[in-house]
Amino acid sequence: MPFKGKAPGSGSGEMSRRTQLLRPSIALSAKQVSEARRMRRAGAEPDAIAEAMALPLDEVEKALVQMRSARPETTRGTLNVTLAAHRLIMKERIGEEPIWQTMDRVLDELLRLRAAAAAAPRRKPSAPRQDDLLLPLPISTPRDT
């Protein structure tokens, strides 16, 4: 029985509805927000963006504060394991393979090896030889007195 995982869903990188409800509402259209964010990524300052778009500065700042920023280490790929186990999985990764796919592959291999080991005929342990039962005698040395 191979282990087959499931890829993260289509909305796995999206903001949760609860987080959206906690954020302040922005009095800008989605098109205005995306344009302001595009300008910010290009290096424009918030006051210059507000002036160029003829919008209130506080609304532009609200749109810009909620921008996503690149993170050097994504949290979606974090393993809740010991550091040694994390190093092992990262070493098993093939190229830029997603971590979930690496985990699926490693678990599949483990399950296949266990199934093969269980299906293999077991050998009876052989009876110990007579020589193995003899204990070595301690060597005594004459004492200097």
**Same domain? 35 vs 57:** yes
pLDDT in tens, 10-50: 777 777 888 878 887 888 999 999 999 999 999 999 999 99
Say if 56 falls within a structural domain: yes
Contact indicator for 37, 2 with CB cutoff of 8 Å: no
**Same domain? 61 vs 84:** no
Say if 15 falls within a structural domain: no
**Same domain? 31 vs 55:** yes
Say if 53 falls within a structural domain: yes
Nearest in space to 40 (alpha carbons), one of 70, 60, 14: 60
**Same domain? 82 vs 115:** yes
Phi-psi region of 82 (alpha: psi -120 to 50; beta: other; left: phi over 0): beta
**Same domain? 50 vs 81:** no
Sign of CA dihedral 90, 93, 97, 99: negative
pLDDT in tens, 66-114: 777 766 665 555 667 788 888 898 999 999 888 888 989 999 999 999 9
**Same domain? 61 vs 81:** no
Number of domains in the chain: 2
User: Is pLDDT at 3 greater than 70 in this prediction?
Assistant: no
Structural domain range at position 86: 77-119
CA distance 77 to 12: 12
- Two tokens at 82? 């010991």
CA distance 126 to 108: 34
Say if 70 falls within a structural domain: no
- Two tokens at 115? 């199934």
Query: What's residue 142's pLDDT?
Result: 66
